[in-house]
Amino acid sequence: MQGWGLGPWHRSFWLTPHPIIDVLKELVSQKEEERYIQSFEADHVFGGREILIEKVWQKSELDKNYRGMFKKWHDALSTDSDKTLKLATVVSEYIGLLRQDPGLPKELIGAGWIGFEAYTLFREIRSILFS
């Protein structure tokens, strides 16, 4: 469920800021799972949005993981390895982290989110290694 940006708020209650209801409905329609799913849309009204984001998506842990990935990228790019091997390492690390990142919109996560920086850096590295 994390692939859709879903994060657990409680054991059986998941949230996502992404519009997935139509796809979810189509996915479970006429299937056994349909009877176990309740889905609704709502807007955040009050309360600490940052607290909710941390509780559901562990923003600080993701930030730490991105910083660790940057170090691994640096280590890989500092070697005398072939460009292809360097790129494979960078891509592998990035894909692994993207699987954890729910892809929260800028309005929720903030324009300075390290994930946006990672994307920019990844594109630059890819461009340099492909040239």
User: pLDDT digit string (tens) for 28-55?
Assistant: 899 998 888 888 888 888 899 999 999 9
pLDDT tens digits for range 83-109 = 999 999 999 999 999 999 999 999 999
The answer to whether the CB of 76 falls within 8 A of the CB of 90 is yes
57 pLDDT above the threshold of 90: yes
1 pLDDT above the threshold of 60: no
Domain boundaries, the chain: 2-50, 57-130
Half-sphere exposure of 85 (CA within 13 A, CB side): 8
Q: Identify residue 100 by its one-letter amino acid code.
A: Q
* pLDDT confidence of residue 70: 98
* pLDDT confidence of residue 2: 55
Long-range contacts: 100-103, Cβ < 8 Å, 24+?
100/2, 100/62, 100/65, 101/62, 102/2, 102/5, 102/6, 102/7, 102/16, 102/57, 103/5, 103/18
Global pTM reads 0.83
* pLDDT confidence of residue 4: 65
Q: Comparing 5 with 89, which gets the higher pLDDT?
A: 89
